Amino acid sequence: MSTACVSVPISWLQLEQRQLGELAEPQRRAVDQHLAECATCRACAERIARDAQRTLPPLPALPAPLAPARAAPPAPLRTNRRLQRLLWLTPALAASLLILLLPRAQPVAPPFAAARVSIKGGELALSLVREGHGEVTEATRVYASGDRLRVLVTCPPAQEQVTALVLQGASVEVPLSRVLSCGNAVVLGAFTLTGDAPATVCVALGAVDARSTPAALARQLAGRSACVALTSSTAR
């Protein structure tokens, strides 16, 4: 499915900002004016509004990796925050923070290229819908910076925690992770992908600690993830 926008395309980002009430007044008027004339963009805006009502929080461009529960600092009581911070930074945690802070020398190699794998007597499959500039492309293998990618997951029917990861250059991001009623091509959510480096998007059953070393991450994903490799349409 691919539908075109009538004139100057409105980006998904703008539509999302409009939904969140984050557009400045002149910009919002311009977007509304375009929406009045363009059914394609209007459909996009309605889709965003539906999503917002349903389950998804607004998605910033590639939010920070999901922090593991253990790393959540205790409620900040001003008087003993310093002590809490000291207690929190046990050697093991300090070591994992160090890993987090050290730039990764090697790009993270996508662990698996298969968009569908056998799992739990069924299938785990990933399909990405690219939504950008008034165009919608199913099962995309290409993106442009700022595109919104909708993550469709097929998984054996059950309630499962499903996590989406983005591996791009040396970074690993976890834009989506939630409990899903698995089935055929279920929407996990959407996120915005920026940059122009090749990216690999994976979905995995269960939680994933994105702070792991590349080797540990590959072990975590082994046998329970499906991935799609994307190239940038604007990369030089």
Binding interface with Zn ion (CB under 5 A): 5, 38, 41, 134
Q: How far is the CB of 133 from Zn ion (least distance, A)?
A: 9
Q: What is the side-by-side order of every strand in the sheet holding 159-168?
A: 142-143, 225-232, 199-205, 159-168, 171-181
* Single-letter amino acid code for the residue at 12: W
Q: Is the CB of 40 or the CB of 171 nearer to Zn ion? A: 40
Q: How far is the CB of 135 from Zn ion (least distance, A)?
A: 10
**194, 61 Cβ separation under 8 angstroms:** yes
Q: How far is the CB of 99 from Zn ion (least distance, A)?
A: 45
Distance separating alpha carbons of residues 231 and 187, to the nearest angstrom: 22
Q: How far is the CB of 148 from Zn ion (least distance, A)?
A: 15
SS3 state of residue 207 = coil
**173, 199 Cβ separation under 8 angstroms:** no
Q: Which of 135, 143, 137, 136 is nearest to 166 (CA)?
A: 143
Question: Which tokens go with 138?
Answer: 């199913």
Distance separating alpha carbons of residues 78 and 204, to the nearest angstrom: 39
- Give the contacts of 109 (CB within 8 A, at least 6 positions apart): 214, 218
Question: Which tokens go with 173?
Answer: 């991001």
Q: Is the CB of 40 or the CB of 194 nearer to Zn ion? A: 40
Q: Is the CB of 1 or the CB of 77 nearer to Zn ion? A: 1
Q: How far is the CB of 21 from Zn ion (least distance, A)?
A: 20
Q: How far is the CB of 186 from Zn ion (least distance, A)?
A: 28
Q: Is the CB of 41 or the CB of 126 nearer to Zn ion? A: 41
Q: Is the CB of 16 or the CB of 173 nearer to Zn ion? A: 16
Q: Is the CB of 5 or the CB of 30 nearer to Zn ion? A: 5
